[in-house]
């Protein structure tokens, strides 16, 4: 047994019954939180003094694309006038050039950054059409080496032909089975779909049948841009969500990402099927695709979480963006406070629990997995159950993460990552990126 005793911190539990507990201790034994209280007396292998620090659950990123890492600074893509041109000029050129080594290094780099920013669970969506087979294992390898909790999937599409689509189906199914066979609650597989407008009926039917045969959910871009709706209706006579409903794609284990251009009927289908939705405000702004109506979605009782779509791994940055975006869009300075807070502080934990059942990540409670972060924060104003969310928006995003613990293991302490050589990894990634840019 290994144990960690965190002493004299301000414990913030998050979750629906968020509590701010001053001068509290937290005991971790193996990979679980076993006690939260004052003056815990226990012999621990390691003791951490958390005076002047918030002790919080690690943040959860509900939609991510690791493979986008190596375009940072790339200036070779043609200017794009709309979303489909962005896909054609940048992302669909990039993903065709990725190798398996690229898949690994483009994953480990953002995972290092996630440790530094206190994000301990990430739900990834991957594409590398000329390096499909084994790509999810490369992502899983990076995930395990980082120590973080990762869900991933392969982005099925017909855009690169039938053979690659078949490989995509196989990659999803094989990886999901591997994760289940290993029983490792740090790794999880979903069935990835790119978007309705890039998947023909035959491939959609094959994907639905394959997923049904093993009882798995989907991770799919949904009406991110109006082009998805227009092309899907041309192809099938149905809206995007109606088509997913027809094929059995929707359900409590499925994530529909974006949902910027969904109508009332589609929202009802999402609600009736208990499908999860993930909002990605920075990406939506960056691609100029529109603004999802998170108010209507949440009012309907849909579980809406917060993701970054690879724009960042810093979840408080994404939270702040959501907050400003919805105030501006509604022209209402009072709009969106709790709707945005709910996505990160409450709903992302509920989404993670569906994927990683029994872990309780995203909430500090006895019995839950020990995904814990310590943030330097001497508060200048009242910090309580009633005021904490104001601090989460206006103070904590500016405070550095000091310590990151995932699955009961200390990954970063005193702002130093303990088990990965960031400089060496970045240097190797640059070598690969230089070659990738030449191929682009």
Whole-number pLDDT of residue 137: 98
Domain-embedded: residue 42? yes
Q: Do 236 and 131 sit in the same domain of this protein?
A: yes
Residue pair 374/55 in contact by the 8 Å Cβ criterion? yes
For residue 158, is it within any domain?
Answer: yes
| Among the listed residues 188, 112, 116, 184, the one whose alpha carbon sits nearest the alpha carbon of residue 150 | 188
**Residues 235 and 272 occupy one common structural domain:** yes
In a domain, 433, yes or no: no
Nearest-angstrom CA–CA distance, 45 and 303: 39
Count the helices and strands in the chain (H runs, E runs). Answer: 16, 18
In a domain, 428, yes or no: no
How confident is the prediction along the chain (440 residues), in pLDDT tens digits per residue? 699 999 999 999 999 999 999 999 999 999 999 999 999 999 999 999 999 999 999 999 999 999 999 999 998 889 999 999 999 999 999 999 999 999 999 999 999 999 999 999 999 999 999 999 999 999 999 999 999 999 999 999 999 999 999 999 999 999 999 999 999 999 999 999 999 999 999 999 999 999 999 999 999 999 999 999 999 999 999 999 999 999 999 999 999 999 999 999 999 999 999 999 999 999 999 999 999 999 999 999 999 999 999 999 999 999 999 999 999 999 999 999 999 999 999 999 999 999 999 999 999 999 999 999 999 999 999 999 999 999 999 999 999 999 999 999 999 999 999 999 999 999 999 999 999 999 99
Quick one: pLDDT at residue 76? 85
Q: Please check whether residues 255 and 213 belong to one and the same domain.
A: yes
What does the alpha-carbon distance between residue 124 and residue 113 come to, in Å, rounded to a whole number? Answer: 15
The enclosing domain of 100 has a CATH number of 3.20.20.140
Report the candidate in 39, 10, 14, 12 with the shortest Cα–Cα distance to residue 27: 39
Residue 171 lies in a domain: yes
CATH of the domain at 15: 2.30.40.10
Same domain, 52 and 109: no
Say yes or no: 318 and 371 in one domain: no
Question: What pLDDT, in 10s, does the model give residues 51-94?
Answer: 999 999 999 999 999 999 999 999 888 999 999 999 999 999 99
Q: Do 257 and 130 belong to one domain? A: yes
Q: Does 112 reside within a domain?
A: yes
What does 362-407 look like in DSSP terms, one character per residue?
TS--TTSB--EEEEE---SS--STTTHHHHHHHTGGGSPEEEEEET
Sign of CA pseudo-dihedral 107, 109, 115, 118: negative
Q: Are residues 35 and 65 in the same domain?
A: no
The model's pTM is 0.98
* 119 and 268 together in one domain: yes
- Check whether residue 47 and residue 71 sit in a common domain: no
Last residue of a domain, one of 335, 355, 375: 355
- Let me know if residue 235 belongs to a domain: yes
Number of domains in the chain: 2
Residue of 301, 254, 244, 297 lying closest to 276 (CA atoms): 254
Which pair of tokens denotes residue 50? 């958390």
| 161 plus 215 within the same structural domain | yes
Q: Which of 264, 197, 198, 257 is nearest to 233 (CA)?
A: 197
Instruction: Please check whether residues 334 and 298 belong to one and the same domain.
Output: yes
> What residue numbers bound the domain in which 108 lies?
59-355
Residues with Cβ within 8 Å of 123's Cβ and at least 6 positions away in sequence, in order, are: 60, 61, 62, 63, 64, 150, 151, 152, 190, 219, 255, 278, 307, 351, 355
Q: Which two tokens stand for residue 415?
A: 């702002």
Whether residues 70 and 30 fall in one domain? no
| Residue 426: inside a domain | no
CA distances from 402 to 13, 42, 118, 412 (A): 18, 23, 9, 7
Q: Is the distance from CB of 214 to CB of 179 less than 8 angstroms?
A: no
């Amino acid at each position: 047994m290994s144990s960690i005793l965190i002493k004299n911190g301000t414990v913030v539990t998050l979750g629906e019954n968020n509590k701010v507990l001053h001068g509290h201790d937290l005991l971790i034994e193996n990979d679980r939180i076993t006690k939260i209280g004052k003056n815990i007396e226990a012999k621990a292998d390691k003791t951490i003094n958390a005076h002047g620090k918030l002790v919080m659950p690690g943040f959860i990123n509900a939609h991510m694309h690791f493979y986008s890492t190596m375009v940072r600074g790339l200036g070779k893509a043609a200017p794009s006038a709309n979303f489909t041109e962005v896909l054609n000029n940048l992302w669909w050129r990039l993903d065709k050039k990725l190798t398996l080594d690229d898949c690994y290094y483009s994953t480990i780099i953002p995972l290092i950054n996630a440790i530094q920013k206190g994000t301990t669970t990430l739900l990834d969506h991957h594409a590398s059409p000329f390096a499909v087979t084994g790509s999810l294992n490369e992502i899983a390898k990076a995930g395990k080496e980082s120590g973080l909790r990762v869900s991933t999937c392969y982005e099925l599409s017909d855009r690169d032909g039938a053979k690659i689509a078949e490989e995509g189906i196989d990659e999803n199914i094989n990886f999901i089975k591997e994760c289940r066979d290993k029983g490792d609650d740090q790794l999880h597989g979903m069935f990835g779909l790119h978007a309705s407008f890039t998947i023909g009926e035959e491939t959609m039917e094959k994907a639905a049948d394959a997923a049904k045969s093993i009882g798995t959910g989907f991770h799919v871009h949904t009406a991110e841009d109006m082009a998805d709706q227009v092309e899907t209706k041309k192809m099938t006579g149905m809206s995007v969500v109606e088509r997913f409903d027809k094929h059995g794609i929707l359900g409590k284990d499925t994530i529909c990402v974006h949902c910027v251009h969904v109508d009332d009927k589609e929202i009802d289908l999402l609600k009736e099927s208990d499908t999860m939705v993930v909002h990605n405000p920075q990406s939506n702004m960056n691609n100029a695709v529109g603004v999802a109506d998170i108010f209507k979605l949440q009012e309907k009782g849909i579980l809406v979480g917060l993701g970054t779509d690879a724009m960042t791994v810093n979840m408080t940055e994404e939270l702040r963006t959501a907050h400003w975006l919805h105030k501006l869009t509604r022209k209402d300075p009072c709009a969106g406070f709790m709707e945005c807070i709910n996505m990160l502080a409450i709903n992302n934990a509920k989404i993670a629990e569906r994927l990683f059942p029994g872990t309780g990540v995203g909430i500090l409670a006895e019995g839950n997995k020990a995904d814990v972060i310590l943030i330097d924060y001497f508060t200048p104003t009242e910090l309580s159950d009633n005021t904490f969310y104001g601090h989460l928006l206006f103070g904590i995003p500016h405070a550095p993460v000091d310590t990151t613990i995932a699955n009961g293991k200390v990954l970063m302490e005193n702002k130093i990552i303990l088990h990965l050589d960031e400089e060496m990894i970045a240097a190797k990634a640059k070598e690969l990126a230089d070659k990738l840019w030449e191929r682009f």
